[in-house]
Amino acid sequence: MRDLDNSYPDLAAMRVEYGAGPFDSEGAPGTGARDADLDENWLAGGWEPLLRHWIEQATAVGIAEPNAMVLATVALSADGTPRPVARTVLCKGLSPEGVTFYTNYDSAKGTQLAAVPFAAATFVWPALGRQVHLRGPAQRVSDETTAVYWRSRPRDSQLSAWASHQSRPIASRAELDRTLAEATERFAGVDHIPVPPHWGGYLLRPDEVEFWQGRQGRLHNRIRVDVDGDTMTVQRLQP
């Protein structure tokens, strides 16, 4: 292990002081005024409208992939020990029922969700000092829902879904390019590429949603929504 010297960043000293964001109290972008304090009343209409509003505001200020979320699943080791696994995916659907993402069912996340059908997802926008965490069961969406989204994907993305055995080892990049060339040739005369049988969507139905807003001195605003059917309980949490 190399000795640390002054050329290395001091990770312990890295910090951002939250509390002044690019929105005024009504959420208008570009004013540079202080972001209004997250309040329990903001959840009066449910968790989904506020999450949608925050994604829209992240989009308005030009944040790249504002719908990106860190998805955590549970992998079971050979002896049955649960181990968390996280990666970033894109949210491709948002409704009062939950958030939707798409993947290869035979991928690591797909096999993990088959064994333990629960997940957690985190949206994080550091430039805005905001995060949203969702936790709950996850289930496959209908074939019809998958087909609708599949038709919206660029052709190159559709071909990649056919070419890649997601999460499995491959000998080289050249081998991956070869499988893509084979898929491209296979569907060369096909106007509408079909959905692969191993590919589709998942709906994460949160029973817990937490909104986080950064504040000065690490005295952040945290509000959690517990969802039980049509019943919603809102609580403020200590940072």
Residues with catalytic function? 218
In single-letter form, the type of residue at position 128 comes to L
Q: Could you tell me if 210 and 223 are in contact, meaning their C-beta atoms sit under 8 angstroms apart?
A: yes
In the three-class reduction of DSSP (H, G, I as helix; E, B as strand; rest coil), residue 236 is classed as strand
Amino acid at 52: R
Phi first, then psi, for residue 146 (nearest 5°) are -60, -45
174 C-beta neighbours (distance < 10 Å), count:
8
Helix axis angle, 173-186 relative to 155-163, nearest 10°? 120
Contact 173, 181 (CB under 8 A): no
Question: Residue 22 has what DSSP assignment?
Answer: S
Helices and strands (H, E) in the chain, number of each type: 5, 10
